[in-house]
């Protein structure tokens, strides 16, 4: 009887998982389709736009190969994602997922390098995952998961830290800046120093060939390349090849994909500083979940200058360049069209149009987000499925890495 009950429970669980997967497919395939349709409908009447062309999405290295080239990227779940995250990362992810074998991660382990509230971090992690999906990342073609749900990230980070010279880490600009801002040296944890090693583990764990990052993260990708090359040199040896391994190459060396310059969104309060989650004033950024009234208020109070008309690329008018760039991307028009439309506008009229364009662009994202958050069991299933795929892929990398170390240590 016990065996029968056990089998019945297993069947019920399998049935439940199948139902959840079907619900995930219906909900998120529809969401991704709607996201694609909206982008297409915005740009098709105008023909190819400079915004789209400037992304210059790289083609996979081996289009004829049975395995798609692999891509990894992630965002920290601190705060709420803003326009800078969307235009600098998520928007390109939606395009890249059709070309690459994509792994999109919510990097919650990176978020704990600084002081945090555990409950808020957990909720922010769920919000970030929901926004990935609402923006059009499709779990049917991309693996979407939480970093801490795949223990191999921490395991590989430790192994890599043992071959990474500490001098490499001390030279990292972000460590210098963040540690300098700490009021007390005792608040600076070791995790802040070793953050780039964990980032290297994130990337190398999936044998990633391409990593989309912001311009401020380029140095970390270069460090990941250096760590991969050093590990390959130390452990990818002839002895391993004798045991049946490939020899000479434990990790693929990743390339970096930087977003176009016009995708770099600056602060609403300072056109020379990047829009950031960590900025003290919420008025410095447009969050993806801001309602139209709040968007209007933030844009009206955004820093401007005393000149009539908006223009691009004038170094003396950083705020005009930033806000006009946001208007261009939110409206789905070319740079020339945005310049022509706004060259004679007063700031008041321009800000009204900008607020309208932002709210209209964010509306479908916010609608999908609400649907996703209303049924969290579906979101949990998406993250579980993504973690399962990620863990299986990561396990192969860890097995090879450890086997090569064993071969080196055995002196075969």
- 189 or 212: which leads in pLDDT: 212
Whether the per-residue pLDDT at 192 is higher than 90: the answer is no
pLDDT, tens only, 128-169: 999 999 999 999 999 999 999 999 999 999 999 999 999 998
d(CA 47, CA 243): 56
Name the catalytic one among 277, 296, 298, 351: 277
CB atoms inside a 10 Å sphere around CB 348: 9
Mean pLDDT of all residues in 363-368:
97
Q: What is the mean pLDDT of residues 234-258?
A: 69
Per-residue pLDDT at 114: 76
Of residues 75 and 236, more confidently modeled: 75
Residue 279 has pLDDT above 50, yes or no: yes
Q: Please tell me the predicted confidence (pLDDT) of residue 409.
A: 57
Q: Is 68 one of the catalytic residues?
A: no
Query: What φ, ψ does residue 343 adopt, rounded to 5°?
Result: -65, -25
Is the full-model pTM beyond 0.95? no
Q: Which of 178, 241, 249, 303 is catalytic?
A: 178
The domains located in the chain, with CATH, are 35-264+376-410 (3.40.50.620), 282-366 (1.10.240.10)
Tokens linked to 57: 């999405």
Under the banding of pLDDT at 50, 70 and 90, the label for residue 11 is: very low
Catalytic residue among 68, 241, 274, 303: 274
- Residue 274 designated active-site: yes
Reply yes or no on whether the pLDDT at 325 is more than 50: yes
- Mark whether 298 is an active-site residue: no
Cβ-count burial 386-403 (b if 16+ within 10 Å, e if not): bbebbbebbeebeebbeb
Determine the Cα–Cα distance for residues 376 and 372; give it in Å rounded to an integer.
7
């Amino acid at each position: 009887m016990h065996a029968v009950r056990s089998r019945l429970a297993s069947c019920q669980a399998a049935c439940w998982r199948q139902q959840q997967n079907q619900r995930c497919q219906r909900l998120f395939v529809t969401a991704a389709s709607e996201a694609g349709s909206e982008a297409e409908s915005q740009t098709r009447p105008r023909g190819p736009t400079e915004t789209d062309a400037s992304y210059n999405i790289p083609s996979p290295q081996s289009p004829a190969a049975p395995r798609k080239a692999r891509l990894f990227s992630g965002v920290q779940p601190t705060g709420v994602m803003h326009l800078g995250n969307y235009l600098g990362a998520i928007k390109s992810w939606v395009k890249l997922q059709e070309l690459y074998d994509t792994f999109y991660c919510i990097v919650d382990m990176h978020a704990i390098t600084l002081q945090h509230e555990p409950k808020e971090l957990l909720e922010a992690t769920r919000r970030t995952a929901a926004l990935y999906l609402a923006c059009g990342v499709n779990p049917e073609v991309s693996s979407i998961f939480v970093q801490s749900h795949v223990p191999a990230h921490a395991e590989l980070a430790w192994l890599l830290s043992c071959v990474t010279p500490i001098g490499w880490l001390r030279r990292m600009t972000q460590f210098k800046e963040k540690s300098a801002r700490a009021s007390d040296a005792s608040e600076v944890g070791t995790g802040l120093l070793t953050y780039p090693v964990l980032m290297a583990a994130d990337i190398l764990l999936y044998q990633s060939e391409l990593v989309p990052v912001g311009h401020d993260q380029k140095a970390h990708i270069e460090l990941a390349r250096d760590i991969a090359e050093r590990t390959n040199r130390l452990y990818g040896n002839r002895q391993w090849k004798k045991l049946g391994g490939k020899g000479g190459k434990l990790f693929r060396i990743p390339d970096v994909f930087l977003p176009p310059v016009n995708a770099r969104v600056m602060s609403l309060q300072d056109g020379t500083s990047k829009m950031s989650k960590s900025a003290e004033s919420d008025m410095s950024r447009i969050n993806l979940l801001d309602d139209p009234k709040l968007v209007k208020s933030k844009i009206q109070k955004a820093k401007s200058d005393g000149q009539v008309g908006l223009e691009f690329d004038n170094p003396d008018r950083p705020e005009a360049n930033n806000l006009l760039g946001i208007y261009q991307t939110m409206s789905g028009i070319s740079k020339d069209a945005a310049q022509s439309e706004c060259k004679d506008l007063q700031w008041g009229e321009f800000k009204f149009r900008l607020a309208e364009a932002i709210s209209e662009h964010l509306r479908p994202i916010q609608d999908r987000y609400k649907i996703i958050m209303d049924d969290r069991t579906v979101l949990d299933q998406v993250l579980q499925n993504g973690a399962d795929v990620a863990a299986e892929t990561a396990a192969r990398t860890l097995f090879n890495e450890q086997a090569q170390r064993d071969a080196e240590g055995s002196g075969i």
